[in-house]
Amino acid sequence: MLPLVSSLRRLNVLVFSILALLQATANAQLTIEITGAGGNRIPVAIADFGGEASAGRVVTSVIRGDLERSGLFRMIDTGGVALSEASAPAFDEWRSRGADALAAGSIGESADGRKEARFRLYDVNKASALAGSAFVTSKPMLRAAGHRIADIIYEKLTGEPGIFSTRIAYVVKVSSTRYELHIADADGQNEQVALISKEPIISPSWSPDGTRLAYVSFENKKPVVYVHSLASGKRIVVANFKGSNSAPAWSPDGRKLAVVLSKDGGSQIFTVNADGSGVQRLTSSPAINTEPAFSPDGQSVYFTSDQGGSPQIYRIAAGGGEAQRVSFEGSYNVTPRLSPDGKSMAFISRREGSFRLSVMDLANKQVQVLTDSHKDESPTFAPNGRMILIATEQGGRGVLSAVSIDGRIKQRLSVSAGDVREPAWGPFNK
Amino acid sequence: MKQLLIPAVLALLLAACGSTPESPDSGGGAPVESRGAPGSVTTVTTGGVESRGLPAVLTDPKSILSKRSVYFDFDSYEVKAEYKDLVTAHAKFLNDNRQFKMLIQGNTDERGSREYNLALGQKRADAIKRMLALLGVREDQIESVSLGEEKPKDEGHNETAWAQNRRGDMLYSGEF
């Protein structure tokens, strides 16, 4: 697939793809495609960085790609002019090109042979610097440096933290006898395989510190909950009771997990310490209670229950008590996920026979259906709360799609081989 | 027209990335907080479960015990009358052979949430387990679990496939 060339101004639809240059790792490369973008995008010029040209191209292309993909920025043509952070920009000229903001920088070599990425961001209209920074990096880490610079630009220009340096996890069904748990950068690059199994893997959930993933693995012919340390590959069994063990969700302090166990009959929500000790039952209705999700303040657990006859979303105090019903519209509302600010809830709602990503404003219970797709599942918020990543289906294959919380920006991520499903967006990279 | 070709260069190795935030010069913009590089990931491959041989009575196609599947109606979690003989035969085998253990795996079709379907599959497995228990099978011989929609017998996306996947399977130790 070749990158598409499109006119931003006329189409207001932007489609591009990122392809791996290296054949060796191209087997499961993610392609990202954007359909639809925000209305009032900030015009930004990212000048070609000075210094080492090839390294500069990597960094500037990462910055441009990140900002462009967010749907919040419009890239201003820079005419191929290299501009380092040390040179004085001709603000009048950038103003006439329509740029509100301009970034310039350079890649140099530090004394110990490592790379140094420097940049500065300017407010073109005020002709003043907004931000500047330098990172000591290395050749393999140039992309990471680009993501960090994009995060700084994003934050300076939108007032919200950027998520370009975060990571995502997802499951690839390569075949019916090969399942892989992958970790990639938020732009789908730098994909790494954390787990390979002959049996399914579902429900990955990042620990709040971003070092571990909890998930359900069927490698023992039944669902068992594991916590997997990504750097070391060390895995611990958190819940392997008689019956099914599933749906792990971390408490915000990272000490506990809510899990669903069938050991006492039916499917009930329990909490368990992250090392597998201290199992306590949370829900007690005779119905199905599953898909727990802690509120960001740790005070409540949202979950799916059929206690009212159809699957609906309920909330219970994290210490237990009476459950309160949260969703009312329609006969199938499942998979609650709270926004990082705790003010809204993403979930999947069945509408006209299709499963669609929806968002509820928890203050006024207003529901907005964000997609017109057929088979959305597993919503997961970006840590800045701007986008929701979901699994959906396109042409009979599982793909990932990121949707802005107002539904206006949609990005699609797909791997070239296999079904992709079960996304989980990691926390800010501290 | 504007070309948006993004040359992607993959990091082959994730070396540690030291970050030294500093201003480019004395009059520069705000320094940025240091953030750690994304760590490397170690790949783990899971072990499998070894199969063992079973007595012929459980595998002989002429024996009712070679049949292991109970199919359910849409949105139903009750063992239908047509499967009574099958479940009863397995109950008798388990009662006569107390050293045997059974894993009952409940399954659902692909529609809806994976975790909710896991809970629905559990209801199907539990229904079979309850019936076996009523027929005298000891609690420690049977375990009911769910595979939800994860292991479809028929990978199709139509009613015929879904009917195949609304199912409970009875497996003996050695088969799982």
Write the pLDDT tens digit of every residue in A156-170: 999 999 999 999 999
Looking at the complex, report in whole angstroms how far the Cα of residue B115 sits from the nearest Cα belonging to chain A. Answer: 6
Give the model's pLDDT for residue A384: 96
> From its phi and psi, is residue A113 left (phi > 0), alpha (psi between -120 and 50) or beta?
left
Of the candidates A125, A117, A74, A123, the one whose C-alpha atom is nearest the C-alpha of residue A103 is: A123
Please give the domain boundaries of chain A with CATH numbers for all domains.
40-158 (3.40.50.10070), 167-425 (2.120.10.30)
**pLDDT > 90: what percent of chain A?**
75
Q: Which residues of B are less than 8 Å from A5 in CB distance?
A: 1-4
Q: Which residue of B has its CA nearest to A185?
A: B38
Contact A86 B24 (CB under 8 A): yes
CATH code assigned at B97? 3.30.1330.60
Among A18, A121, A335, select the one facing B113 at the smallest CB separation. Answer: A335
Residue with tokens 């023992």: A220
Of A251, A296, A297, A301, the closest CA to residue A278 belongs to A251
pLDDT score for A308: 95
Beta bridge partners of B145: B105
Q: State the average pLDDT for chain A.
A: 89
Among the residue ranges A108-117, A352-361, A366-375, A388-397, the one predicted with the least confidence is A108-117
Beta bridge partners of A397: A394
Residue A383, pLDDT above cutoff 90: yes
**Between helices B114-134 and B84-96, what is the axis angle to 10°?**
70
- Residue B138 placed within a domain: yes
Q: Chain A residue with minimal CA distance to B44?
A: A195
Indicate the number of domains in chain B: 1
Give yes or no for residue A265 having a pLDDT over 60: yes
Of B24, B38, B111, the CB nearest to A120: B24
- Is position B63 within any domain? no
Contact A218 B3 (CB under 8 A): no
Task: Identify the pLDDT of residue B132.
Answer: 98
Structural contact between residues A388 and A357, judged by C-beta atoms closer than 8 angstroms: yes
Query: Residue B153 in contact with residue B162, Cβ under 8 Å?
Result: no
On whether the CB atoms of residues B122 and A265 are closer than 8 A, the answer is no
Reported ipTM: the value is: 0.89
Does B168 map to a domain? yes
CB contact under 8 A, B25 and A86: yes
Residue B18 domain-assigned? no
DSSP three-state, residue A192: strand
Give residue-wise pLDDT tens across range B128-139: 999 999 999 999
pLDDT at position A36: 59
Contacts of B45 in chain A (CB under 8 A): 195-197
Distance from CA of A366 to the nearest CA of B (A): 22
Q: How far is it, in rounded angstroms, from Cα A204 to Cα A197?
A: 14
Per-residue pLDDT tens over the stretch B69-111:
999 999 899 999 999 999 999 999 999 999 999 999 999 999 9
Structural domain includes residue B121: yes
Chain A CA closest to residue B28? A132
User: How many other CB atoms are there within 10 angstroms of residue A203's CB atom?
Assistant: 25
pLDDT given at position B31: 29
Q: At A268, list the tokens.
A: 């009930």
Interface test with B, best of A17, A114, A133 (most B CBs within 10 A): A133
B7, B17, B148 member nearest A138 (Cβ): B17
How much is the pLDDT for A35? 62
Phi-psi region of A243 (alpha: psi -120 to 50; beta: other; left: phi over 0): left
Which pair of tokens denotes residue B60? 């002989």
Domain of B93 in residue numbering reads as 81-172
Of A65, A78, A48, the C-alpha closest to A150 is A65
- From the list A189, A200, A221, which residue is nearest B10 (CB)? A189
Q: Is the pLDDT of residue B24 over 60?
A: no
Find the CB nearest B30 among A14, A131, A222: A131
Residue B65 lies in a domain: no
What is the per-residue pLDDT for A414?
A: 62
Q: Does the beta-carbon distance from B29 to A133 stay under 8 Å?
A: yes
Cβ contact (<8 Å) for A141 and B17? yes
Which pLDDT score, from 0 to 100, does residue A30 have? 55
Which chain B residues contact residue A235 at CB under 8 A? Answer: 44
Q: Is the separation of the CB atoms in A369 and A357 below 8 Å?
A: yes
- Residue A338, helix vs strand vs coil: strand
A233: confidence class by pLDDT, cuts 50, 70, 90: very high
Vertex A160 angle, CA A154 and A165, to 5° = 55
Closest partner residue to B112 among A7, A266, A332, by Cβ?
A: A332
- Count CB pairs under 8 A between chains A and B: 271
**For range A13-35, the mean pLDDT:** 39
Please tell me the predicted confidence (pLDDT) of residue A3. Answer: 33
Task: Tell if the CB–CB gap between A304 and B116 is shorter than 8 Å.
Answer: yes
Which chain A residues contact residue B170 at CB under 8 A?
A: none
pLDDT of residue B175: 81
pLDDT digits (tens, 9 = 90+) for B34-69: 333 447 899 999 886 666 788 999 999 999 999 999
Phi, psi of B118 (to 5 degrees): -60, -40
Residue A77 CB burial class (10 angstroms; 0-12, 13-18, ≥19)? exposed
For A96-110, the pLDDT digits (tens) are 999 999 999 999 987
Confirm whether pTM is higher than 0.90: no
Q: Is residue B5 part of a domain?
A: no
Number of H helices, E strands in chain B: 4, 6
A353: Cβ contacts below 8 Å, ≥ 6 apart:
none
- Taking the C-alpha atoms of residue A97 and residue B5, their distance in angstroms, rounded to an integer, is 21
The alpha carbon of residue B30 is apart from the nearest alpha carbon of chain A, in Å, by 5
pLDDT at A23 over 60: no
E strands in A1-114: 18-20, 30-35, 42-46, 50-51, 73-75, 101-109
CB environment B9-21: b (16+ within 10 A), e (fewer): bbbeebeebbbeb
Residue of chain A with shortest Cα separation from B173: A221
- Let me know if A233 is exposed, middle or buried by CB neighbors in 10 A (0-12, 13-18, 19+): middle
pLDDT value of residue B49: 67
Query: In chain B, which residue's Cα lies nearest the Cα of A149?
Result: B32
pLDDT at residue B18 is higher than 70:
no
Q: Nearest 5°: CA angle at A377, between A374 and A383?
A: 130
